[in-house]
Structures are given as structure tokens and as C-alpha cells.
Amino acid sequence: MSDLKVDLTAPNGRKITLPIGIYINNEFVKGNGGEIESINPTDESVIAKVSAASADDVDAAVKAARQAFNDPSWRDLPGPDRGAIMFKWADLLEANRETLATLETWDNGKPYSVSYNEDLAEVISCLRYYAGWADKIHGQTIPTTPGMKFAYTLKQPIGVCGQIIPWNYPLAMAAWKLGPALACGNTVVLKPAEQTPLSILFAAQFISEAGFPPGVINIINGYGKEAGHALVSHLDVDKIAFTGSTATGKAIMKTASVNMKNITLETGGKSPLIVFEDCDLDQAAKWSQIGIMSNQGQICTATSRVLVQESILDKFVEKFQEAIKTTSKVGDPFADDTFQGPQVTRAQYERVLSYIEAGKSEGGKLLTGGEPHKNVGEGKGFFIEPTVFTDVTEEMKVYQEEIFGPFCVVVSFKTEEDAIRMANNTTYGLGSAIFTQNLERAHRVAEKIEAGMVWINSSQDSDIRVPFGGVKQSGIGRELGEAGLAAYSQTKAVHVNLGLKL
């Protein structure tokens, strides 16, 4: 072990040499903000301690990013060459996929099968998708006055982008932000969540090898109150992209106004899943289980309010319980048959338990779960039983507030109009789902739901080619797909006088 690397043996036996510094100008350096302990949520042991960035370290990273943005080696690099570097980085990550998935599971608690088969697949695909866009970002010509004037637009990068990512999908959220930013020619200072710093540090080892010039990508582990605030308030940062809680998003929006930064915010959600009486009931129950219980319920778009037409309520509840019982196996995240691992931290574990108590005290009926899961971890770890409440009213905390755990409420409705009103009775507007075999109803309700995304007869099966984002207090802007490029480019209009004389 050196000062900036540590040798680790993961629970699955994989040997890993992990960088533990912050990454600036294509080098790992020691941060001046102390250390961050990475805690294994399965048994509460310390995995490693990594350097935390101070405000001065953030300033150094921003200066490196600014210098790289102004350097012709990056700024004037042709799109095909920029894309080739991104493709190379994706290839290097794919070659180290098992190690990255191991770190993701060890640090976060999600099942290894999910980390490897889903999250890392998405990371690699996302980087390749945006690498393919790098030579296709261009402006347009605009007909004005024939023979008198010619006009065209240029698509140009925004500049230095500060990116702050959450702990629920550490590498995937990094790829969602890095992919379009780099494709457009920006430079980046990325702050991972302090709860899950390990996988992105391992991935950073391959940035220079892929061919990125120094300063194009900088990674500053650190605490939100110091490193995060320093990044958002820095006068030489042109854009902030953030995924996380609504409360933090509001604070970022205020702070970013110091120099009118361009912002993209993807914040909380309390997504409805509407089950109509004409649906395929078996499929509705199975997708409902996926919609809330996958990733330990730690998904911004989790369909945590299940609204069921009253004529089929009892049948749905029976099938939903069966889907949870047969699918939501809680256990060691490195076990092949585990569906649900631990919550990411003790704070999140206690938050979910507090909402269970709130649901009981407000008069909800506990249908299933509602306790710490005691069959794994020998009394340690942040495991919670999949939890469902019924007999919930729209005023209750568990109906209105984002919980971010394996916890949902099932509420009945009478008519289509009731379902739409109940679905929209929230300050959030991120995701939603509709289950019906009536094609007209599906599209009619989808249009009326106040959400950035609507799934029809499925839930949570996002795609990197399709825009992702919300309305109301669920955020500003879109990520993924071609729409994601708009968040990292700006349009310049050029007017050419072809002969108009004064």
C-alpha cells in the first residue's frame, strides 16, 4: 500500500488495488479535506478511507478544467477524435467490468448481478452512445432573405461543468453526465457522493490511458458542505448538473445564481403506478414489484404510490404480495439469488424505518414487511423487509413524501378521473406508470399525468436513448438521448450580410 493506493480483498475474493486520492490533471493527488470512510452496508465494516477534497482542491480542479477547455488539444479536437477517446475509455471499463461491479456492490449494497449485468452494461453503453454523437453535433442553416442575408448556427460547448452525482447508481450517474458533456467538448469536475466513492476512483485510472488530455476530467471526492458548495459557488464554473434530493437541488439552484450558471437538476420523485381494471393483472403485479423494490427502492423514479381501481383491489393485493414473496429475496448482495441488498447507509436505513413508524401512527395498515430484516448479516447491516401499506389517505406522509426505500402504499380509486387527480396530487413529477389494455385510455391518461416520463404496461425500464427528467419539483432539464446533449451545448447565431447597403 502507498499513500494513494490501497490493496483490498473483496467479499467475493477479488483482489483490487484501489486509488484513494482525488484526480486532477490526470494524476491522483492527496486531498486536503481529510478522509472519507467507505462503509460496507452489508456488515458495517470500513472498506477503505479515501482522500476528501477541500475548497482549495476544488479550485485546483476547476483551474485544471479551465486550462484544458482553453487548450487546443481538447477544444479544437475534431469530433471523430473526441469520440474515439470516449470509445477507448468505454473499452477499458468493459475490460475491468468485474472489478468495477465488485466495487459498486461492496460500496453500495446492490446485488452483484445487478451491478454487473445492468449497471455496468449501462455505463459502457452510455459512454459509447455519446461517443457516437461526438461528430454529429452541429448547427443549421436558416433561410432568411434570399440574396441579401445568410444565417447559420453553431453548437458550442458550455465550458467547465461541475457535476454532482448520487449514491444509488454511482457509475451509471457518472456516465449519464460525463457522456454528453465530453461529446460536446466540455471539461468536467465531477464530485461523487461521499457514501460511494470507490468505483469511480477505479474507473479514473483509465482516463489518461484512454487519451483524454490532462484536466478534461477531474474527480474530487468530498463532502457536500465543503467540496460540493465550493464547486457550485465557484465563479469559474459555467454549469452545474446535479442528481439528488429536492432540498439539495433547491439549495444548489440558489447558490448557482452567483454567476448565473447553467443548471440541470434531477431531484426527487413520488411516482404513481396506476392499475386499471382492464389490465393484465399478473403483469401489473410483477411490474409493480420491480417498480418499487428494485435497487432496494433507492430509485428517484420508484413507483411508490400504487393506485388500483377498487373493483380489482383485493385480487391485485394478493398477486402483489405473491410477487414480493417470490421475487424480493433479501440477502448477501454477492449471492446469486439475492434481489435486495441492504440500504446504502445507516442514515438511509433509519429514514426508511422512521417512515414505517409514521405509516403506523397515521393509521395505515401494514400489509407486509415493516421490520429490519434479521436473517442476514448476523444482526449487522442495513437490511429492511420489503414493506407495503394499505388503507392510506392522500394526506399521509407516506403518500406524499419521498422515502427512497423498499416501501410503497397501495390506494384504491373509482374512476379514471380519480386516478389522474390522485396521481397528480404531489409536488413531484418525475416518473409514472399506467397498466391497461385499453390503448385509447393509455394514451389519454399518459397525456394528463404531470410527470416527465410515463411507462405504459411496464416500470423502470429506462433506455439511454430516451430522455429522462421531471417536472414540478422533480427537476429542470433532461438527461439521456439526444435531449441530453442540449444540456451541455449552447447555440450561437451567425448573421451574414450578402449585400444589403445602407
How sure is the predictor about 3, in pLDDT bands with cuts at 50, 70 and 90? Answer: confident
Q: Round the average pLDDT of the chain to a whole number and report it.
A: 96
Type and span of the H or E element at 212: none
HEC secondary structure over 411-443 = EEECCHHHHHHHHHCCCCCCCCEEECCCHHHHH
Specify the pLDDT at position 377.
Answer: 55
pLDDT, one tens digit per residue, over 270-325 is: 999 999 999 999 999 999 999 999 999 999 999 999 999 999 999 999 999 999 99
Residue 9 has pLDDT above 50, yes or no: yes
Confidence of residue 373 (pLDDT cuts 50, 70, 90): confident
CATH number, domain at 250? 3.40.605.10
Q: Can you count the helices (H) and strands (E) in the chain? A: 18, 22
pLDDT of 500 higher than 90: no
**Considering its fold, how many domains does the chain have in total?**
2
Give the model's pLDDT for residue 305.
98
pLDDT beyond 50 at 1: no
**CA gyration radius, the chain:** 24
pLDDT tens digits for 318-362? 999 999 999 999 999 999 999 999 999 999 999 999 999 999 999
Q: Which residue, among 392, 471, 459, 462, has the nearest Cα to 424 in the 3D structure?
A: 471
Within a domain: 314? yes
CA-nearest of 107, 228, 118, 96 to 172 is 118
Report yes or no on 468 lying in a domain: no
Does residue 29 lie within any of the structural domains? yes
Residues 202, 290: one domain? no
- Give tens-digit pLDDT for 93-110: 999 999 999 999 999 999
Going by C-alpha positions, the residue among 180, 80, 85 that lies closest to residue 130 is 180
Question: Residue 21 corresponds to which cell in the numbers above?
Answer: 486520492
- Identify whether 131 is part of a domain: yes
**Annotation says 266 is catalytic:** yes
Is 472 domain-assigned?
Answer: no
- Cross-strand partners of 7: 17
The stretch 14-34 carries a mean pLDDT of: 98
Q: Which one from 266, 385, 402, 479 is the annotated catalytic residue? A: 266
Q: Return d(Cα 205, Cα 19) in angstroms, integer.
A: 8
pLDDT of residue 374: 72
Instruction: Show Cβ contacts of residue 370 under 8 Å, excluding neighbours closer than 6 positions.
Output: 356, 360, 385, 387
Cβ partners under 8 Å of residue 213, min gap 6 = 26, 68, 71, 73, 74
Q: Is residue 488 part of a domain?
A: no
Are 206 and 355 within one domain? Answer: no
Q: DSSP for 470-495?
A: -SGGGEES-BSTTHHHHTTEEEEEEE
Share of the chain above pLDDT 70, in %: 99
Instruction: Supply the range of the domain harboring residue 187.
Output: 5-268
CATH classification at residue 365: 3.40.309.10
* 471 inside domain: no
CA dihedral sign of residues 471, 477, 481, 483: positive
Please say which residue of 268, 288, 322 terminates a domain: 268
Residue with cell 411508490: 304
Query: Do 167 and 56 belong to one domain?
Result: yes
CA–CA dist 438, 391 (Å, integer): 28
Q: If we measure between CA atoms, which residue out of 377, 376, 359 comes closest to residue 368? A: 359
279 shares a domain with 139: no
- Report the SS3 class of residue 282: helix
Q: Which of 234, 268, 302 is the last residue of a domain?
A: 268
**Statement to judge: residues 419 and 294 lie in one domain:** yes
pLDDT > 90? residue 183: yes
On whether both 263 and 280 belong to a single domain, the answer is no
Last residue of a domain, one of 211, 233, 268: 268
**Does 253 share its domain with 283?**
no
* pLDDT value at 37 more than 60: yes
Q: Among 88-102, 135-149, 397-411, which is the least confidently predicted range?
A: 135-149
Q: What CA–CA distance (Å, rounded) separates 163 from 154?
A: 24
Residue 490 contacts residue 156 (beta carbons within 8 Å): yes
Q: What percent of the chain has a predicted confidence (pLDDT) above 90?
A: 96
276 with 245, same domain: the answer is no
Assess if residue 482 is contained within a domain. no
Same domain? 295 vs 222: no
In this structure, the answer to whether residues 318 and 254 fall within a common structural domain is: no
Residues 248 and 310 in one domain: no
Banded pLDDT at 424 (limits 50, 70, 90): very high
Phi-psi region of 488 (alpha: psi -120 to 50; beta: other; left: phi over 0): alpha
Q: Are residues 39 and 164 in the same domain?
A: yes
Mean pLDDT of 431-453: 98
